Structure 1
Amino acid sequence: MSMIDIDPPGFRPPRPVAGDAGKRRTVLYGAYTVFSVFQPVFSVSHRRAIGYHASLRAHGEDGGQIASHEVFTQAARRGDLLELGRLAESLHLGNFHAFDSHDEWLFLSLHPAALMDTIYGDALLASLKALGLPPHRVVLEVPEQAGGETPRFAAIVDGLRKAGFLIALGGFGAKHSNIDRVWHLHPDIVTLDPGILAQASEHSHLERVLPGMVSLLHESGQLVLMGGLATERDALIALECDVDFVQGQYFAGPSVDPVQPQAAAGRMDALSAALRLRVAERERMQAARLAPYVAALEHASAKIVAGDTLPDAAATLLALPEAARCFLLDASGRQIGDNVLPHGSVSQRAKRFRPLLHSEGASWERRPYFIHALRTPGRVHLTPPYLSINEAHLCVTASIATPAAAGEMQVICVDINWEAAAHHG
């Protein structure tokens, strides 16, 4: 039976009070000794710790470690939750102040009830003033689901920001997360939910989406932190997504002491080298997979220049297994004629997207495959995998610009079904 289940009737432990264990501050709560641990947050670019995320650990009377949630569960049962939370926060501030550091941030996770307390900000500022810590050294992490979308909640967060604190939105991407919340609260940092990483590690199509999510947050004005990194694969996913900050056991676990300034530099360098190899190998495999399509497109281009029609010129190209369609664009990006499809019946997927299949006269002037082909005529260009509007699946488009009979340029394009090609590769 756990310690929280054996209290005799009428028993009430002492209120949580500040204590001292050697040189480190602690909080005493009943039979528990609660203390701070700090897990470093590393900047990928700077290759060093730029902050520490504070959390609680607890020891029982026998010195054995107790799950910290048991302490908070007991405090909630007895109505001490806010008081214990404030003391824990004061504990983190005092222990962080004892670090030999000058610039690092302290990340504090806020309980929703504490955040909605109108005097919370004033009390926190008073604690910082007593320690000589400026508020810009503290990052207040707001739970992603805290406070709903109420004007009062947004006003409290805005007040904390105006007082000098940095604001982080934690757990982005979980459950009901949406980008509107980021735009509404204007956090300085967005912390991705660890569940996103777990899913990306298992599903390659989700891993492909992550860089776009990070890019969207960057364009919205937020720095991005990915935590929970436990393996090299996790860390490589984070680096390839271009996140700003990383945290996790792979780099350093929670500790009562700060890390050495260059603790992660060697690991960051090794990861960067591994990522370069990973990207180079992926590009090599893609180039090998696409080589037949490049050669066939060059052959089709030569036949177009010689006067062949697109269906005749593209016959060899469309005979390749994952060629989805060929089409021809004029110098303004407007499609000449309809798509030329491989021989055989239209796929069930294509039938579902039938309104999008016929593209004569469509304008593709903003598409990279048109822009890049026109910039360097006579050279085949390949797009990264992207969602095809024709059948709503991933495709790669190969394109080449060639002169038309009247002297103007034309761009010949072929869409390659990338989902199927990647599966076969």
Structure 2
Amino acid sequence: MAESPPINEHTEFFQDLTLSSAFQPIISIAHRRAVGFEGLLRAKDHNDNDYPPLTVLQLPANTAEHLELDRLCRQLHANNFSKQNNADKWLFLNLNTQCLVMEKPDIGFMQILFEKTGLQANQIVIEILESEIDDRDYLLKIIAHFRQLGCLIAIDDFGAGHSNFDRIWELQPDIVKIDRSLIKRAAQSAKVERMLSGIISLIHEAGSLVIIEGIETEKEALVAVTSQADMLQGFYFAMPKASISDNSNFSLQIDHVLEQQHQVKAHDEQKLQSWFEEIKRVFETELFLFCQHGSFDECGKELFMDERAVRCNLLDEKGYQIGASRHSPHYKANLDLRFVPVLSGTDSNWSHRHYHLRAIQTPDVTQITRPYLSVTGSHMCVTLSQAVVIGDTTYVVCCDLDWLDE
């Protein structure tokens, strides 16, 4: 759909600067379209030169002037948003919570703004930088006020500075916006990517939707989608503009990223399968010898010729480890002594682990896990396992392999 220019663009004035709005789309992955727009400040000086927005926000000399500018920006963005095709779209408005805490103004401003612009409260998402506030009680009152009006609440820049999950559990935001610093690092490190997925999972468990902001590259978009974010925002999809639009390219961009995700997933599965096929024959040979002789003492000799092999364990049907783990010579030569307290598996119970559960459910079939962090040594690994029956007794034989991130 072609963009429609803003009608009678509204401007405001602050300290000889002309202020205007730019809107950056927030795109739902599942819906493949913009579901909201963040109102961003733009400014020009008296010579019509661009004036940096961050510099504008530093101009107020006191909290009263900060409050004046904060309300001016909200009024500016609401006016410009209301003049455009905003049906079924959210307007994200940044709130300077620090000046509200200091000034404690009358709370009728937003209600008046709704009446003047015709916007509905349920179209507004109030973005709060929770790290700015020390007065937690007053912050909760602010949030309760906006919720009572009918607005949604978003925590902005989560993952930057001293953000922590206590704030999410305490404030119960509808949306959490993850800071660009996390997606940038996740696109460069498989370890951080796994952490990002875990963070998003915890936020979802807390009952909040997740937006990853600051996406600038295809790789970052791919990681964001893989990490199960709900919505995306950033220059990769669109630059902020005065007009809002239902750009049909959004659906094409999302489709492209989803196709890339499917390819990456297929590649990862193929890589895991190739690992599986390479070592499966050796593992099953060791299993055959164990079943023939009933002794685990010699198990692992051929497996340990592969430097990826770390240890072999023997478990009973209930998950209890039988005897000590057998470690490969290569692993023992590079043993990290800091983890000695967790290296021994004697008397351990692994029944809660997927490699035991799946082996018991499907006996005589070799299983392989996804990569996970091993508690015995704190390293990433995959585990081969198979349940076998010798006489009337069921055993589960396991072999851990080192998994190195690319």
Would you call these one fold, judging by a TM-score over 0.5? yes
Q: Separation in 1 of the partners of 2:73 and 2:308? A: 60
Q: Select the residue among 141, 150, 163 that pairs with 2:136.
A: 150
1:7 aligned partner: none
The residue identity in structure 1 corresponding to 2:223 is I
Q: SS of the residue aligned with 1:329?
A: strand
Q: Separation in 1 of the partners of 2:118 and 2:32? A: 28
The residue identity in structure 2 corresponding to 1:256 is A
- Cα offset for 1:134? 2.0
Q: Does 1:82 align with 2:67?
A: yes
Asked if the contact 2:66/2:99 (under 8 Å) is kept, the reply is no
Asked if the contact 1:350/1:390 (under 8 Å) is kept, the reply is no
With structure 1 as the length reference, what TM-score do the two structures score? 0.89
1:219 aligned partner: 205
Q: Separation in 2 of the partners of 1:344 and 1:61? A: 71
Q: Select the residue among 385, 388, 391 that pairs with 1:399.
A: 385
Q: Separation in 1 of the partners of 2:402 and 2:83? A: 58
Q: Select the residue among 86, 91, 96 that pairs with 1:101.
A: 86
Asked if the contact 1:170/1:191 (under 8 Å) is kept, the reply is yes
The residue identity in structure 1 corresponding to 2:120 is P
Q: Separation in 2 of the partners of 1:130 and 1:159? A: 19
Q: Separation in 1 of the partners of 2:73 and 2:135? A: 27
Q: How many residues align?
A: 400
- Cα offset for 1:351? 2.1
- Cα offset for 1:78? 10
2:3 aligned partner: none
Q: SS of the residue aligned with 2:298?
A: helix
1:353 aligned partner: 339
1:8 aligned partner: none
1:247 aligned partner: 233
Q: Separation in 1 of the partners of 2:29 and 2:358? A: 31
1:352-399 CA-partner distances (Å, limit 9, x unpaired): 211212212211111111111112122222222211111111111111
Q: Does 1:330 align with 2:343?
A: no
1:72-95 CA-partner distances (Å, limit 9, x unpaired): 333337963221221111111111
1:226-254 CA-partner distances (Å, limit 9, x unpaired): 01111111100101101000001111110
Q: Separation in 2 of the partners of 1:89 and 1:120? A: 16
The residue identity in structure 2 corresponding to 1:175 is G
Q: Separation in 1 of the partners of 2:95 and 2:127? A: 6
1:36 aligned partner: 21
Q: Does 1:317 align with 2:307?
A: no
Decide which moves more: 32-41 or 380-389.
380-389
Q: How does 1:148-297 map to 2 (within 5 A)?
A: 148=134, 150-260=136-246, 262-297=248-283
The residue identity in structure 2 corresponding to 1:190 is V
Q: Separation in 1 of the partners of 2:335 and 2:298? A: 26
With structure 2 as the length reference, what TM-score do the two structures score? 0.93
Tell me which stretches of 4 or more aligned residues in structure 1 moved more than 4 Å. Answer: none
What's the C-alpha RMSD, in Å, of the aligned pairs? 2.1
- Cα offset for 1:332? 0.9
Q: SS of the residue aligned with 1:299?
A: helix
Decide which moves more: 310-319 or 326-335.
310-319
User: 5+ unaligned residues in a row in structure 2: which ranges?
Assistant: 1-5
Asked if the contact 2:37/2:90 (under 8 Å) is kept, the reply is yes
Q: Return closer, same or farther for 1:99/1:398 CA change in 2, 3 Å cut-off.
A: same
Asked if the contact 1:339/1:359 (under 8 Å) is kept, the reply is yes
Decide which moves more: 137-146 or 341-350.
341-350
Q: Separation in 2 of the partners of 1:112 and 1:219? A: 26
2:38 aligned partner: 53
What percentage of aligned pairs have identical amino acids?
31
Q: Does 1:141 align with 2:127?
A: yes
Q: Does 1:413 align with 2:402?
A: no
Asked if the contact 1:82/1:113 (under 8 Å) is kept, the reply is no
Q: SS of the residue aligned with 1:310?
A: coil
User: 5+ unaligned residues in a row in structure 1: which ranges?
Assistant: 1-20
Relative contact order: is structure 1 or structure 2 higher (C-alpha 8 Å, sep ≥ 6)? 2
Q: Separation in 2 of the partners of 1:386 and 1:402? A: 24
The residue identity in structure 2 corresponding to 1:126 is I
Q: Return closer, same or farther for 1:87/1:378 CA change in 2, 3 Å cut-off.
A: same
Q: Does 1:370 align with 2:362?
A: no
Q: Separation in 1 of the partners of 2:90 and 2:72? A: 20
- Cα offset for 1:114? 4.0
2:365 aligned partner: 379
